[in-house]
Amino acid sequence: MFAIVEIQGKQYRVAARDVIDASYIEGKVGSSLTFDRVLLVSEDKKTKIGTPTVKGVEVRAKIVSQEKGEKINVRRFKSKVRYRKSRGFRPLLTKLEIVSIG
Q: What is the DSSP track for the chain?
A: -EEEEEETTEEEEEETT-EEEEE-----TT-EEEE--EEEEEETTEEEE-SSS-TT--EEEEEEEEEE---EEEEEEETTTTEEEEEEE--EEEEEEEEEE-
Closest CA to 48 of 16, 1, 100, 8: 1
How much is the pLDDT for 39?
97
Intervals of the chain under pLDDT 50: none
The pTM of the whole model exceeds 0.85: no
How much is the pLDDT for 28?
96
How much is the pLDDT for 64?
97
- For the chain, the domains span 2-101
How much is the pLDDT for 32?
97
